[in-house]
């Protein structure tokens, strides 16, 4: 398929493909250590933290679980607003880690307001920044601040899986203590790496737990440019290459991603489609299916034009469809996708 | 470096590099599901099991931990012979999982005898087939049989990280219930995937545990060609491509790997070097450093010839060096490496 319009994995950055075409590097050699440290430094800049970023071989879910396991002890009480598939996952992970989880259930598509999380008595708040399943963007700085005023000792953990490199993010400046992300979204690399960013405050609160997911052990190794377990070093090279390209012109990159996603919503509006989220993330445009149109018809209209799109998840399955230009697409390719979107819908909703 | 002679990661198979150069595939599409199922079927053949093979995004260590967590409950008693860095790791993982671990300590380089593991009262035996840190090969079928005679209900879990595709392996035929391996060794792919093979008997004993490492959840998804969490699908493609190439001529491939490793030992013998293991694995040739020669001198003599080698681990650090032709090397390249090995030692041990 020529047009990968799913909200991750995404169309790869050419620098990622180039990096992956290189001969194998052994991770316990000086060139690999330099590469690993470079990737960590660039990720630290991307997450905007004075703390540390750990690179884990695994998915974003693994990074989310590592974050929860290493910052909270069983029995501790955490608040988890649930407003989509990935915030649901955060709650499940916290439960599986033995935490006492208070879910704050919201309809899919909504995001929590600061008032709702300004409740004392919690060791932590777990939030999804860009809820990929609904296209909603939570106001992370306002939520973190409200929570921390009520819980000065509490830690804020954020899923930045589809916001890193797609929308502005910041750890300490926003009052976020820890964040998880992955390689296959805004970083435009293949899947296989998860990242855990830890603020200086989170670093002080780290407690060893688990084996593969023990971040204390990782931290010790990664400070030296190594990793506790054999890393997907080829992907680390891809991540470093993309960050080196994108970070120096991050502002323009984020502006492009915002413009591209707005363009998708604009086309949707012209077609009379209803947007799913109120507060929109630039990572993905999510639309309700038109009355009486099954998801399969939309998927097939795009597939006939060599495009892969995403459907709904959880309670939104069969009710919405999602398009994303988070991958390596420039301005003109986005305009092409806008045309493709219109043509696909001409098949589905013929002009009356 | 032109000659990657480390026992993993290894020189990549060209089919792996080709697979990795392809555009991104989305894992929730039909072509990806077909690829995933193909890789699983080929891995099932490679492990020789009528059970199932699960592909996990992570390292071999993650696969080892998943095996232990999902087959044994906290408090259960397991026997873990320790004869190298990786059997040590198996013991640590079992302890971290809350099992009651009886370590059977042996000097590094040795392997346990069947008599030593024929002890009743255990829920499981955890064994490393090819102990990469020492170059030793355990007699897995004999050990599994001896253990199971003493523990008819006990499960045998094996680390096949550097034996899969390097030496004959078999699950049920050998009395092995579960095995772990990874992509960056005999499979000649980059690191990033771990595999857990489960015999029909192990499948019946699977109990859900953890979140990312919950194999029950993985099994349900992977039977449909999906995975519970975003997989490193590009690497899955690489693994399938290499297996498709190697499995039809597996016998010749294993004979080549055995011949190549024997060649390294033969050169070592000519140079007067002492082999570390008694029972030799074809995955790696391990030699004691000559009296008074520091590891750095050997490493540098190889590096001057554009070759990367491995040193010792754990108690063998600074005492041994290791060479491996497990990667994509043909007969003539191996002869070239034999010449390189001799020349490197001519720098170190000038002819008297």
| Strand ranges of the sheet holding A52-57, from the earlier edge strand across to the other edge | A52-57, A193-198, A178-182, A155-159, A124-128, A77-82, A100-105
So what's the pLDDT on residue B117?
Answer: 98
Listed residues A194, A221, A247: the one ending a domain: A247
Do B210 and B147 share a structural domain? Answer: yes
CA distance A351 to chain B (A): 30
Interior angle at CA A321, CA A315 and CA A325, nearest 5: 130
Q: Which residue has the higher pLDDT, A111 or B350?
A: A111
Question: What is the helix (H) or strand (E) element at residue B180, kind and residue range?
Answer: strand B178-182
Q: How far apart are CA B203 and CA B194, in angstroms?
A: 18
Structural domain total, chain A: 2
Do B290 and B238 share a structural domain? Answer: no
Q: What is the dihedral of CA B106, B107, B112, B116, to 10 degrees?
A: -30
Q: Which of A234, A237, A299 to mutate to test the interface with B (most CBs of B within 10 A)?
A: A234
Pure H helices in B281-330: 295-303
Asked if A96 and B210 come within 8 Å (Cβ–Cβ), the reply is yes
Q: Which of B26, B132, B313 to mutate to test the interface with A (most CBs of A within 10 A)?
A: B26
Taking only the tens place, the pLDDT of each residue in A206-235 is 999 999 999 999 999 999 999 999 999 999
Q: What is the CATH classification number for the domain harbouring A331? A: 3.90.1150.10
Do B282 and B225 share a structural domain? Answer: no
Q: Which of A229, A312, A324, A329 to mutate to test the interface with B (most CBs of B within 10 A)?
A: A229
CA nearest B230 in A: which residue? A59
For A6: left if phi > 0, alpha if psi spans -120 to 50, otherwise beta; the answer is beta
Do A209 and A197 share a structural domain? Answer: yes
| pLDDT, mean over chain A | 97
The percentage of chain A sitting over the pLDDT mark of 70, rounded to a whole number, equals: 99
Taking only the tens place, the pLDDT of each residue in A177-212 is 999 999 999 999 999 999 999 999 999 999 999 999
Do A195 and A255 share a structural domain? Answer: no
Mutual orientation of helices A215-222 and A60-71 as an angle, nearest 10°? 110
Do B296 and B219 share a structural domain? Answer: no
Q: Decide if B239 contacts B43 (C-beta within 8 A).
A: yes
CB atoms within 10 A of CB B346: 12
Asked if A65 and B212 come within 8 Å (Cβ–Cβ), the reply is yes
So what's the pLDDT on residue B349?
Answer: 84
Listed residues A205, A229, A247: the one ending a domain: A247
3-state secondary structure of A327: coil
Interior angle at CA A100, CA A80 and CA A137, nearest 5: 5
So what's the pLDDT on residue A349?
Answer: 84
Pick from B278, B96, B283: nearest CA to B181: B283
Cis peptide before B306 (omega within 30 of 0): no
Asked if B23 and A4 come within 8 Å (Cβ–Cβ), the reply is yes
Half-sphere exposure of B110 (CA within 13 A, CB side): 10
Do B204 and B226 share a structural domain? Answer: yes
Query: At A351, is the pLDDT very low, low, confident or very high (cuts 50, 70, 90)?
Result: low
Stretches where chain B sits below pLDDT 70 are 1, 351-352
Asked if B230 and A96 come within 8 Å (Cβ–Cβ), the reply is no
Do B242 and B257 share a structural domain? Answer: no
Report how far apart, in Å, the C-alpha atoms of B50 and of each of A102, B44, B170, B242, B318 are: 43, 7, 10, 21, 43
So what's the pLDDT on residue A313?
Answer: 95
Question: Chain A residues with CB inside 8 Å of B229's CB?
Answer: 58-62
DSSP states along A176-214: --EEEEETTSTT-S-S-EEEEEE-HHHHHH----SSTT-
Asked if A230 and B11 come within 8 Å (Cβ–Cβ), the reply is no
Residue B128 burial (CB < 10 Å; 0-12/13-18/19+)?
A: buried
Pick from A98, A79, A80, A102: nearest CA to A89: A80
CA distance A284 to chain B (A): 15
Do A154 and A26 share a structural domain? Answer: yes
Taking only the tens place, the pLDDT of each residue in A58-75 is 999 999 999 999 999 999
The whole domain housing A108 covers: 14-247
So what's the pLDDT on residue B1?
Answer: 61
Pick from A84, A36, A30, A80: nearest CA to A57: A36
Q: How far apart are CA A262 and CA A247, in angstroms?
A: 22
Do A340 and A282 share a structural domain? Answer: yes
ipTM of this predicted complex?
0.95
Mutual orientation of helices B331-348 and B250-270 as an angle, nearest 10°? 20
**B237, two tokens:** 């493609």
Measured in degrees and rounded to the nearest 5, phi and psi for residue B172 equal -55, -40
Question: Chain A residues with CB inside 8 Å of B231's CB?
Answer: 59, 191
Q: How far apart are CA B274 and CA A39, in angstroms?
A: 40
Do A140 and A98 share a structural domain? Answer: yes
CA distance A235 to chain B (A): 9
Asked if B229 and A61 come within 8 Å (Cβ–Cβ), the reply is yes
3-state secondary structure of B217: helix
Q: How far apart are CA A264 and CA A272, in angstroms?
A: 12
Q: Decide if B99 contacts B74 (C-beta within 8 A).
A: yes
Q: Decide if B30 contacts A10 (C-beta within 8 A).
A: no
Q: Does A304 carry a binding-site annotation?
A: no
| pLDDT, mean over chain B | 97
Taking only the tens place, the pLDDT of each residue in B94-134 is 999 999 999 999 999 999 999 999 999 999 999 999 999 99
Listed residues A247, A262, A288: the one ending a domain: A247
Do A104 and A79 share a structural domain? Answer: yes
Sign of CA dihedral B261, B266, B270, B276: positive
Taking only the tens place, the pLDDT of each residue in B190-229 is 999 999 999 999 999 999 999 999 999 999 999 999 999 9
CA distance B30 to chain A (A): 11
A352, pLDDT greater than 70: no
Q: What is the CATH classification number for the domain harbouring A157? A: 3.40.640.10
Q: How far apart are CA B308 and CA A280, in angstroms?
A: 50
CB neighbour list of residue A277: distance below 8 Å, 6 or more residues apart: A109, A110, A111, A131, A134, A135, A136, A137, A286
Q: How far apart are CA B88 and CA B107, in angstroms?
A: 12
Taking only the tens place, the pLDDT of each residue in A31-46 is 999 999 999 999 999 9
């Amino acid at each position: 398929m020529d047009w990968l319009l799913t909200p991750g994995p995404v169309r790869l950055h050419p620098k990622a493909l180039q990096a992956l075409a290189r001969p194998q590097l052994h991770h316990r050699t000086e060139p690999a250590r330099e590469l690993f440290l470079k990737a960590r430094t660039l990720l630290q800049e991307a997450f905007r933290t004075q703390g540390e970023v750990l690179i884990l071989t695994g998915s974003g879910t693994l990074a989310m679980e590592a974050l929860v396991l290493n910052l909270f002890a069983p029995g501790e009480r955490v608040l988890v607003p649930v407003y989509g598939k990935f915030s649901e996952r955060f709650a499940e992970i916290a439960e599986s880690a033995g935490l006492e989880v208070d879910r704050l259930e919201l309809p899919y598509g909504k995001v929590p307001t600061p008032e709702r999380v300004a409740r004392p008595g919690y060791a932590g708040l777990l939030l999804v920044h860009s809820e990929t399943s609904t296209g909603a963007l939570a106001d992370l700085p306002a939520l973190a601040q409200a929570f921390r005023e009520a819980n000065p000792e509490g830690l804020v953990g954020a899923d930045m899986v589809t916001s890193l490199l797609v929308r502005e993010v910041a750890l300490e400046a926003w009052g976020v203590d820890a964040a998880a992300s992955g390689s296959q979204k805004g970083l435009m690399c293949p899947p296989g790496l998860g990242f855990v960013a830890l603020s200086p405050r989170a670093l002080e609160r780290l407690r060893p737990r688990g084996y593969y997911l023990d971040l204390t052990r990782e931290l010790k190794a990664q400070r030296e440019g190594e990793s506790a377990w054999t890393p997907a070093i080829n992907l680390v090279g891809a991540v470093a290459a993309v960050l080196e390209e994108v970070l120096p012109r991050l502002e323009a990159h984020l502006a492009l991603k915002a413009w591209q996603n707005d363009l998708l919503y604009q086309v949707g509006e012209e077609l009379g489609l209803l947007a799913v989220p109120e507060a929109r993330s630039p990572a993905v445009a999510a639309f309700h299916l038109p009355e009486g149109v099954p998801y399969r018809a939309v998927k097939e209209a795009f597939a006939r034009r060599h495009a892969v799109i995403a459907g709904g998840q959880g309670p939104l399955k069969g009710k919405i469809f999602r398009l994303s230009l988070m991958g390596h697409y420039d301005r003109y390719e986005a305009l092409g996708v806008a045309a493709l979107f219109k043509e696909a819908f001409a098949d589905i909703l013929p002009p009356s």
